[in-house]
Structure 1
């Protein structure tokens, strides 16, 4: 069992059998989803009866149409672009005893909420909320901040974005399809602009400040390797 899972269990045991929420946050492309899924797997392997579920905050981002209507599309990913009340309501339903809830589905390929589609989440004993705004709704029992050097995060963001674009070259329905038709010299300034004006700005102004309130800080180095876990 990983050190992170061990620390989560130590905290969870103090409230054994109560519905428990873990929030995992950090920059875009820092590896939050991977850590959240691995944590869920480690917890379930340690105690098979300890049910877990992972929810991405992207399920609660406003649709692209609504973001356009609100004049927020250029700030997609910033706290204002998320239905934080909806996320809080979902957590509250589980805390109140609901056994199943429906949450919107987010399509990574379309880079948008899938219209009219929902995912049913069965109440677990430990719910892991992961995403850039996971700590903006303070309805959690323990929080994890995933940290790394800014230059590394940019490299991971660039690699991931190029992979999305490459995968979309034969998928006209994909958000990245048009980008896949652009020559690299024309494409790279757009990716850099997205990083500087959206992702880096979001990190500096909204995500990084939540690091101070995190209970656990997971620091990553090259190749997404975890080199330290600090417990507060």
Structure 2
């Protein structure tokens, strides 16, 4: 996409500065305590009180309004059709690069949404669980393309979302272990009649490639609202390096860790390894498959170098 095409596409969004966005909150949602914020933080990302107040409370109120609108529409359609169709979950999709903070955003939204009027049941699912197991990726020569579109079992993900939107009360999602770097065959996440489901992953806004034997449905077809967490790639790489260093000193030290071999790297070696992985895998995936989906989102959160959201763009 050329610069002119990108500029024209972004005209479909209404931009808000941090200050403008913060003023939109009507105080309908309660904030989080310091202890709650700490419990939601990532391993290298803190959550300030101002970030919750300025960014996530207005976003939570917007999402609540969208859910209420869907509920009213559902009731109106039932009345028109003279049928008692069951309500289905309100599904929120969250996309963005590796290390951009998608998981933190998802956890914050989950915590705030669970406080909406009526105390809805809010479930959070990550698409990592729908990666093919490592043995399948090894067999197909895809281990170095883990996270790329072809490394996901999209049919299973589509089937899972179809069940949710069909009103199936009890559904299960596979679970991914970041420690073993593989799908956990001994664990499944149960979702029992959720009111809201947050689906987080780098691939949730991607479209199927032509000629591939994939369903004609897109994952995003099931979303009621979608968010893309954005940042300058230089900042994301810095965060990725920071995370790699932290994991080297923590998770990588465990013998069962897939990356246990990196436990003894020096600081310089760890940085070089992180940069190498980024340049050959994550950066390529971001440029080719993740970043192009940004304009398919309904809302874009753009972060600055300190992880704080600096701009919000909402689709008109």
Q: What is residue 220 of structure 1 aligned with on the other side?
A: 303
Q: What is residue 211 of structure 2 aligned with on the other side?
A: none
Q: Do residues 190 (structure 1) and 273 (structure 2) align?
A: yes
- CA deviation vs aligned residue, 1:91-110 (integer Å, no higher than 9, x gap): 11111121121222211111
Q: What is residue 44 of structure 2 aligned with on the other side?
A: none
Residue 144 of structure 1: which of 227, 241, 251 is its match? 227
Q: What is residue 32 of structure 1 aligned with on the other side?
A: 102
Deviation at 1:48, TM superposition (A): 4.3
Deviation at 1:176, TM superposition (A): 2.1
Q: Where does 1:56-205 land on structure 2 (aligned, <5 Å)?
A: 56-136=126-206, 137-138=219-220, 139-168=222-251, 170-205=253-288
CA distance in 2, matches of 1:35, 1:22: 12
Q: What is residue 6 of structure 1 aligned with on the other side?
A: 61
CA distance in 2, matches of 1:166, 1:64: 24
Unaligned runs of 5+ in 1: none
Deviation at 1:21, TM superposition (A): 0.9
CA distance in 2, matches of 1:43, 1:170: 36
Query: RCO greater where, 1 or 2, for CA within 8 Å and sep 6 or more?
Result: 1
CA distance in 1, matches of 2:164, 2:100: 28
Q: Which moved more, 1:213-222 or 1:45-54?
A: 45-54
Deviation at 1:184, TM superposition (A): 3.5
Deviation at 1:226, TM superposition (A): 1.4
CA distance in 2, matches of 1:74, 1:63: 13
Residue 54 of structure 1: which of 124, 138, 147 is its match? 124
Please state which structure has a larger fraction of its residues in strand: 1
Structure number with bigger Rg: 2
> Does the CA contact (< 8 Å) of 2:122 and 2:194 recur in 1?
yes
Q: Where does 1:11-26 land on structure 2 (aligned, <5 Å)?
A: 11-16=66-71, 17-26=87-96
- CA deviation vs aligned residue, 1:133-183 (integer Å, no higher than 9, x gap): 111322211110001111111111111111111103541111121101233
Superposition misfits of 4+ residues, deviation over 4 angstroms: none
User: How many pairs were matched up?
Assistant: 232
CA distance in 1, matches of 2:178, 2:159: 24
CA distance in 2, matches of 1:85, 1:103: 13
